[in-house]
Structure 1
Amino acid sequence: MTTAAIFDLDRTLIAASTTPIFMRHLSEAGISSSMSNPVLESVVGAATKTLKTVFDTVGESRLLMQPAKLAVRAAVGWSVADVETASQGAAAEIAKQILPFAKLLIEDHRRAGDLLVLASTSPLAFTEPLAHALGFDGVIGTAWKHEDNSYTGEIDGVFVWGPDKAHAVEEWAAEHDVRLDRSSAYSDSYFDAALLDLVGKPVAVNPDARLAALATIKGWPIRHLDKSEGVIKVGGRELQEWSRPLMRPELVAPYADIVFQGDDKIPAEGPALVVFNHRSYFDPTVMGLLIARAGRNIRGLGKKEVFDVPIIGRLLQGLGGVRVERASGSDAPLRAAQRALEGGELVMLAPQGTIPRGPAFFEPELQGRWGAAKLAAETHVPVIPVALWGTEDVWPRNQRLPNMNPLTRPVVTAVVGDPVELKYRSPNADTKRIMSAISALLPPAASEVREPTTEELMRTFPPGYSGDPYAEATRRPGTDT
């Protein structure tokens, strides 16, 4: 026996309802305008427009399903061949609207050898061309009766919704020798709970309120296929989006004078890798403010020690953070970052990996690790350099808390540069190009060669450090094996 991945369509694979798209293509083909019952045509058209907003916002309901169930009556006399042609045009349009992480998920299941199944309440007359366009192995939906190449205005069998949809999936699985207890299913609707209960790996995608509650009770994963896995959405928006109006220097860090330059160089949309030099615990705050100014959500890589803190760690994950356990040597964080980039998101990391200690902190030539270069080579996304300066005056490494004295107000700068030109042949060479691009954005003082004082050196170590600060000259960052 084999396994399958069963996908709902509306609000699951795409963000909204597909019905208006199908209806528009039918209308453009001159089909829907030729209904034999003009009054029914008007009622169905008005219902489609009125209820679309409700469906896109809150999902399915018994009330919303009534127009869908009655829509078949409007199809009396429609040519089967003409509907298929119009549906093929609609399928091409819908295929382009498949959510970015849904595309990646589909490919994951395809590589795993799962059969791909589209299970939707929508008429098979509409969805079969879409399933074919997506390369799916099966399609489950509501069948319309037809005679002599024309639809009769009746449903052939049952209206495939709720428990009847689950039964249809069971029948399909039996016919195709599929083990549902080892299969996956994805849906947004509480009314697909029976379907989700059938499989061994149910996932609530962009769930309506009732499905979200049910998923929490049953322990089903909740995902949003327009975002990286683990990202939390409230009211259809990420936590970062809700907090963005408050992400202003005068509110977040009134004790520092933060100056931003070139923030318009961060792409307004699409994937990009934002890289910065690491000088202080205050760096993530400045980078967060910078990205907020650019109007983007960010996926940042961070040390496991931070993610392991109760509540804070879960919040960081919900914001899209990627946990990095540096000593493990695992490439899982880079794979997660790569997936975020492939999904069209913005990823941020510090190539140095950590704040340099001792004499390395004062070296004019920045050293970095290969992670950013490897990500760039795998994805070919723009690599945007950001140079930070002065953050260590706000929160030096040897202090447990930042200097929040509003009378001192250290000057901090964050300068964004043009995308780095990379060759994608050598991670070492490209890392040097990335670090050079960051260095070129720093103030002249950064390139001065000087001997730091012992006091300055001690500021680069964690609180309580009692070793020899000069013995740390060869410590990371900047080494890869």
Structure 2
Amino acid sequence: MAELVYPPVVLTCKAMLRALDVKLDIQGTEHIPRHGGAVIACTHQSYLDFIFCGLGAQPAKRLVRFMAKREVFASRISGPLMRGMRHISVDRDAGKQSYDEAVRRLRVGEVVGVFPEATISRSFTVKELKSGAVRMAVDAGVPIVPMAVWGTQRFWTKGRPKNLTQRHVPVSILVGEPMTPDSDASVDEATTQLRSRMQQLLDTAQAGYPEPPENDAAPWWLPAHLGGSAPTPEEAAELDRRRPE
């Protein structure tokens, strides 16, 4: 099937990032398979992470089909784009249908993107993961490619006003080595291993990120363990319980 919608959307996103002079640093793209199915499991700090996760697959010439909640598909604005790019609608009341569709896509050689933390991490660390990414990789017989994006939270994240016009923001996209879960191994063990790899990538991205200005010694967009004013994982979990979004 011809790709009539996805390529123009990618070009538009790239043009917008150039206009804002976003400083993209993409590393490890050699780990994304050039052919065949794969699950990309990406960290989640921003409402815009799907854009940057998708850009991380561009050097491998792969288009990522993201799993997204059905409300996004119901929108008059985003819905036609999501369907045109052949992303996968997730109905939380009928999860098996979207899961089966993702596995089918993987088996025919597509790349499916998931955010296994399920929701944005307010602490800017990797939350506990849902097991779906591992289970679909096992069922489809494809590898999982861990990925971390960093800096995207400065544009738009939970509990902060969005700022989509700020310029010169560095954004890091790090891709890790693929892992192929063993069908005989524990899904929980493989999910724990995936989380560890994602956290390692995020740690690397954070360590290599440009230093904040001297007059911004405790920026809100840095995690607490790096001296930022973001909530700790425990505080973030409590915020999620009190103010789910």
Instruction: Encode CA deviations 1:58-97: one digit per residue, 9 max, x unaligned.
Output: xxxxxxxxxxxxxxxxxxxxxxxxxxxxxxxxxxxxxxxx
After TM superposition, the structure 1 = structure 2 runs for residues 154-193 of structure 1, keeping only pairs within 5 Å, are none
The equivalent of 1:411 in structure 2 is 170
Could you tell me which residue of structure 2 aligns to residue 286 of structure 1? 52
Q: Which amino acid aligns with 1:356?
A: S
Match of 1:385 in 2: 146
Shift of 1:336: 0.9
Closer/same/farther in 2, CA of residues 397 and 471 from structure 1, 3 Å limit: closer
TM-score of the superposition, structure 1-length normalised?
0.42
Q: Distance in 2 between matches of 1:314 and 1:356?
A: 28
Residue 472 to residue 400, structure 1, CA distance change in 2 (3 Å): closer
Matches within 5 A, 1:70-469: 224=1, 236-248=2-14, 251=17, 254-326=20-92, 328=93, 330-357=95-122, 361-363=123-125, 366-399=127-160, 401-406=162-167, 409-424=168-183, 425-443=185-203, 445=206, 449=225, 453=229, 456-457=230-231
Structure having greater relative contact order (Cα 8 Å, sep ≥ 6): 2
Aligned positions, number: 225
Partners of 1:401 and 1:238 lie apart in 2 by 30
Partner of 1:392, secondary structure, is helix
Residues of 1 paired with 2:105 and 2:156: CA distance? 30
SS in 2 for 1:335: helix
SS in 2 for 1:248: helix
SS in structure 2 of the partner of residue 331 of structure 1: helix
Task: Determine the structure 1 residue equivalent to 2:216.
Answer: none
Distance in 1, Cα, partners of 2:193 & 2:236: 29
The amino acid that maps onto 1:398 is: G
Distance 2:74 2:199 in 1: 32
**Cα distance between partner residues in 2 of 1:344 and 1:421:** 15
* CA offset digits 1:5-43 (Å, max 9, x no partner): xxxxxxxxxxxxxxxxxxxxxxxxxxxxxxxxxxxxxxx
Q: Which has the larger helix fraction?
A: 1
C-alpha distance in structure 2 between counterparts of 1:470 and 1:434, whole Å: 20
- What amino acid is the match of 1:411? P
Specify the code of the residue in structure 2 equivalent to 1:307.
Answer: F
Residue type of the alignment partner of 2:105: A
Distance 2:226 2:162 in 1: 28
Equivalent-residue separation in structure 2 for 1:315 and 1:338 (angstroms)? 22
The SS at the match of 2:202 is coil
Q: Give the Cα separation in 2 of the matches to 1:393 and 1:427.
A: 34
Alpha-carbon distance between aligned partners in 1 of 2:144 and 2:15, rounded to the nearest angstrom: 25
Q: Report deviation, 1:382.
A: 1.4
CA contact (8 A) 1:265 1:418 kept: yes
289-298 vs 262-271, which moves further: 289-298
Q: Percent identity?
A: 27
Whole-angstrom CA distance in 2 between matches of 1:401 and 1:452: 19
Distance 2:11 2:144 in 1: 26
Task: Work out the CA distance in 1 between the residues paired with 2:113 and 2:236.
Answer: 30
Is the 1:304–1:324 contact (alpha carbons within 8 Å) kept by the matching residues of 2? yes
Q: Contact 1:352–1:369 (CA<8 Å) still a contact in 2? A: yes
Stretches of structure 2 lacking an aligned partner (at least 5 in a row): 208-222
> C-alpha separation between the residues in 1 aligned to 2:238 and 2:169?
30
Flag structure 1 segments of 5+ consecutive residues without an equivalent: 1-223, 225-235, 461-467
Structure number, greater radius of gyration? 1
User: How far does residue 421 in structure 1 lie from its aligned partner after superposition?
Assistant: 4.2
Q: Residues 395 and 255 (structure 1 numbering): CA distance in 2 closer, same or farther, change over 3 Å?
A: farther
- 2:64 touches 2:110 (CA, 8 Å); kept in 1? yes
